[in-house]
Structure 1
Amino acid sequence: MINVIPGEKIPTAPLNTRLPVWRIPGWLLAFVWLGRGTFRSVVLTARYWWITGPAAASWWIADQHGWPVLAGVVAGLVAGALSWWRLHPASWLRCGWYPLVGRCRRLWIYRRGWTSAMTACGLVGVHGGERWVPRLLGVRSNRWGDLVTVRLLPGQHPDDWAKAAPRLAYSFNLREARAHTTGRPDRVVLHFVRRDPLVGTVQPFPVPASPDLSHLQLGVREDGTAYRLRLTGSHVLIAGATNSGKGSVLWSLLRSLAGGIASGLVEVWAFDPKGGMELAAGAPLFARFAYDDPDSMAGVLEEAVKRMRLRAARLRGVARQHTPTVDDPLIVVVVDELAALTAYLTDRKVRDRIRESLGLLLSQGRAVGVHVIAALQDPRKDVLPFRDLFPTRIALRMTEPEQADMVLGDGARDRGAMCDLIPETSPGVGYVVLDGVREPVRVRFSYLDDGDVSDLAATYGRGAAL
């Protein structure tokens, strides 16, 4: 049986051994070389039709009608492309320019150094005494980078490519790279970044009149598209070092909910153990605001548990998922610096009350419309014992490499969540894990300054006239 490897064989030099000599007539050898060369020429012509086709057409026009006609045809095509670009730049970039850039980069950047890069990064397989390199299937380019699709060799796993992605980026002289899985198990997509869309500050987004709880726009993803948080049926954990941008995430979320707060569809219960330093500017947005006494915070959390249980009793046997209304709004519990309530309190009884209430809200609150949004600096298990009850986790800049795995799950850093390498000059940049995607996605959240927060509170605070 012949084993077929989905890759390209690397030629190796034969061993210096004495083999039997077969005398072949020169005419037969020439015929074999001619056939082999013809076959390869046909294959290359068909593979690179976007080069050979225009070249053949240009030669035919010049031969049949002369060089002036060829120059006129080229000028017409250029004028048509420029008109397309001016009249509808989005479709020109999507259907015209970026496909051409992708083909050129595949040929001159990736294809030319593919074998050496795969060998140097340890992605070459050995089968039957031969070395095989993974096959480069295609390159799709956009404004920010390249998406390179590769077929895996037998025995390879997407995690192998995720670990090798940083070395591949340096091999091709690019900024960075990450590996992503696709719908097919035998393929992986390498995202090479040429330009970073997350370098600049992201401005606040418009406030929707009625928030879509399954698509709350909070920031921009690494591919330049919008990042939308799914709050329905979820709790959110935000972890990051000091000045990493946790406030950007919280205020971006509150801004996306502001329309619902003003209309009464959403109630925000805010807790700020730092004396209100972070959340006090948005006090008009909150139905309950506790910031000073830990005992009073424990009481408010216990009141939230009571509301949750009453709602659960009312919905039991009627509905499996709560639907927010003005009379029965969605309750969002926002806790800034959660560790100050769960680990650093000296009063053990108050700390246990808070832990018990938070555990009940996290384990039973999603279906009845009670969601917890918590931020903290230290993601260790002894600081946050119920970390696994947060389905949605956001990891900002961290101080230690292993903290990314603590927040996003085991192996998150190997799959690209380099939280410890985020520069201090990029607050609000972090990694999130999207539904159905194993690999973390890099995101930058919008930034609201003090003026933006004050305007938000004045415009959309409870009782504000819209």
Structure 2
Amino acid sequence: MPLVNVVHGDKLPAAPLNLRVPSWRVPGWAMAAWWIGKGLVSTTVFLIRHWRITGPAATVGYLLHEFGPLGTGAIAATVAVSLGGWWRAHPASFWRFAGFPAVATWRRVWVYRRGWLAAMTTTGLAVTVNGDRYIPRLVKVRAHEHGDDVTVRLVAGQHPDDWAKVAARLAYTFRARAARAVQHPKRLDRVVLQFRRVDSLLRTVAPFPVPAVANLAALPVAKRETGGVWHLRLTGTHVLIAGATDSGKGSVLWSIVSALAGSVRAGLVQLWAFDPKGGMELAAGAPLFARFSFEDPDAMAGDLEDAVKVLRRRAAALRGRARQRTATVEDPTLVILVDEMAALTAYVGDKKTRDRIKDALSLILSQGRAVGVHVVAAVQDPRKDVLPFRDLFPTRIALRLTEPEQADLILGDGSRDRGAICDLIPVALPGVGFVRLDGSPEPHRVRFSFHTDAQLADLAAAYKPEVTA
């Protein structure tokens, strides 16, 4: 409706409001200088940021100018021969300083950067605010023998868990076998995407050498996905091993037994074995065991109650004197091995015997760590109605599981989102599982060593206790 003025009843058109915006005239030479300076700065930043590409290109250009095509070709051939000789003479240093940096540059440009915008958009990691789209910045790519570590700067409001939830989709996008997202060790505003292109755990892991005296704080039991050995800390903890049928729980148990065998022979460690399935799994190591129960539930309950007596005697001896104990031949560390925990806690027919077993295990799990009584137990079903004291196992190992939710039951909430895809471990890879390292919320993939029947027989014969209980 048009504005009007009313004067003595007459309607007059309103005069338009005249607003003058102040303006400044910028000379043309100043604008030109501004754009030239901005272009020079942008070009310099680009050349410095992509020095692995611009440096060799500039070098080639200089050589062509100075020596021509023939001279440049001769220099290139000399460099190629030198690199080949370096690779043959010392492959480790070649790949560290030349090979992997070149691969990282190639993949950053032709693999990640080309599909970065589409990947961020389709996975929901790109953020739109008031029509402006913000894309997480690709900061760095580091290549190694197992794949790539891609460092990304987070957009404001993002959390590493947001990336962990879409890590599997990013792996498919960038043609990797697997991927997971972890917090950058130094920068809180960055996340590291670990893309695995080579599976180093496809081959069976041979048994590790048996230490003369076991270091309970670092037992060599498995190979890590990134190379090297994963050491299990048994000091001050109990260990729960969860896995479906034929997932390799026996490999974990025997890897631990093998790592302890030297101290078993020396009398510093005693193994009490419980095999409710009739002794089929643990019978091969019978000479190593101070006690071996496999048939009678009542006898198993009695042995566990004897372990409680050992626990109480040691606690009384240490009370008021020390908070940590040292194993001796007279008073060795006691390790209780259970092949199928559910057969003891849920499947024993006699209720009275079952209650005795539960009471003894509850005491051992809650009080045994400080006095050198440790439980290493395997279970197929990790639900609480089957294993009511699951939370009393500080150290947990998750092998192949049947349901996605079970990874979180074993390793903690959010573990599957962080990469512990236990339900997707192939049946053909027994002994492969996920563990958590001390101080790290991210699960790590490992494979435990495998012992043949002949190797177990040799182990039992070579390391049977010199001092009997």
Is the aligned partner of 1:442 residue 2:445?
yes
Comparing 309-318 and 337-346, the one that deviates more: 309-318
Instruction: Describe the SS at the equivalent of 1:98.
Output: helix
299, 302, 312: which is aligned to 2:302? 299
Is the aligned partner of 1:366 residue 2:366?
no
Q: CA deviation at 1:112?
A: 1.8
Instruction: Describe the SS at the equivalent of 1:177.
Output: strand
82, 94, 97: which is aligned to 2:96? 94
The 1-side partners of 2:214 and 2:85 are apart by 39
Instruction: Describe the SS at the equivalent of 1:111.
Output: helix
The 2-side partners of 1:285 and 1:268 are apart by 7
What corresponds to 1:15 in structure 2? none
Comparing 277-286 and 447-456, the one that deviates more: 447-456
Residue 87 and residue 265 in structure 1: after superposition, are their counterparts in 2 closer, same or farther (change >3 A)?
farther
The 2-side partners of 1:33 and 1:366 are apart by 71
- 1:375-394 paired onto structure 2 within 5 Å: 375-394=378-397
Asked whether the equivalents of residues 98 and 140 of structure 1 are also in contact (C-alpha less than 8 Å), the reply is yes
Instruction: Describe the SS at the equivalent of 2:179.
Output: strand
58, 70, 73: which is aligned to 1:71? 73
Q: Partner amino acid for 1:266?
A: V
Q: CA deviation at 1:129?
A: 3.8
Instruction: Describe the SS at the equivalent of 2:433.
Output: strand
The 2-side partners of 1:324 and 1:77 are apart by 60
What corresponds to 2:265 in structure 1? 262
* TM-score after normalising by structure 2: 0.90
Asked whether the equivalents of residues 139 and 148 of structure 1 are also in contact (C-alpha less than 8 Å), the reply is yes
Q: CA deviation at 1:28?
A: 7.4
Residue 174 and residue 23 in structure 1: after superposition, are their counterparts in 2 closer, same or farther (change >3 A)?
farther
Asked whether the equivalents of residues 140 and 150 of structure 2 are also in contact (C-alpha less than 8 Å), the reply is yes
Q: Partner amino acid for 1:186?
A: D
Instruction: Describe the SS at the equivalent of 1:333.
Output: strand
The 2-side partners of 1:43 and 1:210 are apart by 57
The 2-side partners of 1:409 and 1:251 are apart by 25
350, 357, 360: which is aligned to 2:360? 357
Q: Partner amino acid for 1:45?
A: L
Instruction: Describe the SS at the equivalent of 1:359.
Output: helix
Residue 317 and residue 103 in structure 1: after superposition, are their counterparts in 2 closer, same or farther (change >3 A)?
farther
Residues 178-234 of structure 1: CA deviation (Å, up to 9, x unaligned): 111233322211111111111121111111112222221211222233221111111
- 1:114-133 paired onto structure 2 within 5 Å: 114-127=116-129, 129-133=131-135
Instruction: Describe the SS at the equivalent of 1:367.
Output: helix
Asked whether the equivalents of residues 267 and 466 of structure 2 are also in contact (C-alpha less than 8 Å), the reply is no
- 1:314-463 paired onto structure 2 within 5 Å: 314-463=317-466
The 1-side partners of 2:446 and 2:167 are apart by 19
Asked whether the equivalents of residues 181 and 438 of structure 1 are also in contact (C-alpha less than 8 Å), the reply is no
What corresponds to 1:173 in structure 2? 175
The 1-side partners of 2:376 and 2:109 are apart by 47
Q: Partner amino acid for 1:317?
A: G
The 2-side partners of 1:231 and 1:76 are apart by 55
Instruction: Describe the SS at the equivalent of 1:112.
Output: helix
The 2-side partners of 1:24 and 1:166 are apart by 54
Q: CA deviation at 1:24?
A: 9.4
Q: Partner amino acid for 2:306?
A: E
The 1-side partners of 2:86 and 2:265 are apart by 44
What corresponds to 1:187 in structure 2? 190
- 1:15-94 paired onto structure 2 within 5 Å: 34-94=36-96
The 2-side partners of 1:74 and 1:211 are apart by 55
* TM-score after normalising by structure 1: 0.90
What corresponds to 1:10 in structure 2? none
What corresponds to 1:209 in structure 2? 212
Asked whether the equivalents of residues 247 and 400 of structure 2 are also in contact (C-alpha less than 8 Å), the reply is yes
Residue 95 and residue 305 in structure 1: after superposition, are their counterparts in 2 closer, same or farther (change >3 A)?
farther
Q: CA deviation at 1:358?
A: 0.8
Is the aligned partner of 1:230 residue 2:233?
yes
Over aligned residues, Cα RMSD in angstroms? 2.2
The 2-side partners of 1:48 and 1:314 are apart by 67
Q: Partner amino acid for 2:112?
A: Y
Q: Partner amino acid for 1:353?
A: R
The 1-side partners of 2:142 and 2:327 are apart by 42
What corresponds to 1:152 in structure 2? 154
Unaligned runs of at least 5 residues, structure 2: 1-23
Asked whether the equivalents of residues 179 and 415 of structure 1 are also in contact (C-alpha less than 8 Å), the reply is yes
The 1-side partners of 2:424 and 2:437 are apart by 21
The 2-side partners of 1:178 and 1:91 are apart by 28
What corresponds to 1:3 in structure 2? none
Comparing 186-195 and 70-79, the one that deviates more: 70-79
Residue 131 and residue 412 in structure 1: after superposition, are their counterparts in 2 closer, same or farther (change >3 A)?
same
What corresponds to 1:104 in structure 2? 106
